[in-house]
Amino acid sequence: MGNVSRDRHPMMNEKIHEINYLKAIFILLMVAFHLSYIGEKYPYAKELVYTFHMSGFLIISGFLTHIEKRVGRFLRDVGWIAVMYIVAEVPYAIASHFLPVYDALPELSPLAVARAVFVRPLGPYWYFHTLILCQLLYFLTFRLGRQAGMSTFSCLLLLGSLLFGVSHFLGLTSFSDSLYFLLGAGASLSGLPFTRLFRGSAWAILPLALLALFPANFDRGTLAGVAITYLTISLLLYLCGKMRPGWMTRALDFVGENTLPILLFSPLFTFLSKKALSLFLFDPTALCFMFVTVLITVGGCIAIAFCLDKANISPLLSGRKNLIRK
């Protein structure tokens, strides 16, 4: 999710740590609140987290998308995202028909599975679906727009219009999700470093707390949702700047570099975690269950990716030699 090599974006060489830190926090929150028991136990916290965590990922993805590649290279990279998406979404959709999940496939048929893959993704893999659409339209708009002599701002407006059309008329994605990718792309095109556009500030906690007092603000498709996302990123970057180098910063940096395998394989562990819930009934807060499950999920996903790397299967799945980035 948003994983790029350090030389792909000119603004990332010095500030890759902050990006990885944000990605690590967002992916850990994703795993935690994809545990249905935690979501039911803390519905207020779930709604707040759902307002900003994937929105933040999409901003980062838009910021890191490099449209200056050659056509063949860009399409190849997007194609491999599509391969990973299909390999993950198809079994998830089929399994959801038999398992007690929130967004289960109502009927098991080739048409229903195809609809889940191409129109309405199930589970966490909607991110891949949205990313593919946004990246393709981003690349196409700017490639053709620049050939036609359009300014960067005009290309962004055209991209926004296309994303709205794809969401509103075709229903292929949510415009609120696409909007955050568009914001990230616009931030990248400004030429400014990420941490100048999203400045870390302790003061962000005050307006963030005020907005969080009213659950009606927990909609990422509104101005309040955009504000919550921006303020959360600002606060997290402030906390990142206060962290001393050590094992925790190294761990978060590693997790941030490896959000892709965590996204790919985490549903397997969230499914299995329901079987272990009875072992944690001694803790009425469910926090012990959450911490242990998140730790096992992250570790398990990394272990699966490591095994795929060693078995030389990763190139067939992702188009790159190793899923694990060190």
pLDDT tens, position by position, 77-126 = 999 999 999 999 999 999 888 877 777 788 888 899 999 899 889 888 99
Domain range for 284 is: 16-318
In a domain, 309, yes or no: yes
Judge whether 128 and 84 are in contact, CB under 8 Å. Answer: yes
The 10s digit of each residue's pLDDT in 271-300 is: 888 888 889 989 999 999 999 999 999 999
262 domain-assigned: yes
Instruction: Identify the pLDDT of residue 1.
Output: 61
Burial 76-98 (b: 16+ CB within 10 A, else e): ebbeebbebbeebbeebbbbbbe
Number of separate domains in the chain? 1
164 in a domain, yes or no?
yes
CB 52 within 8 A of CB 58: no
Lookup: tokens for 228? 């919550």
With respect to residue 5, please indicate whether it lies within any of the assigned structural domains.
no
Structure tokens at 125: 């893999």
Inside any domain, residue 144: yes
C-beta neighbour count of 199 within 10 angstroms: 12
57 belongs to a structural domain = yes
5, burial (CB in 10 Å: exposed 0-12, middle 13-18, buried 19+): exposed
Assess if residue 73 is contained within a domain: yes
pLDDT recorded at residue 14: 40
Q: How many CB atoms lie within 10 A of CB 17?
A: 16
For residue 204, the SS3 value is helix
| Averages of pLDDT over each 10 residues, the chain, 326 residues | 44 66 96 91 95 95 91 93 95 85 81 90 92 96 91 93 91 90 94 90 96 94 95 96 89 94 93 88 93 96 96 92 88
Is residue 6 one of the residues assigned to a domain?
no
Given a contact cutoff of 8 angstroms between Cβ atoms, the answer to whether 125 and 92 are in contact is yes
Q: What are phi and psi of 309, to 5 degrees?
A: -65, -45
How far is residue 128's CA from residue 175's CA, in Å, rounded to a whole number?
15
Name the nearest CA neighbour of 255 among 302, 296, 300, 290: 302
pLDDT at 179: 94
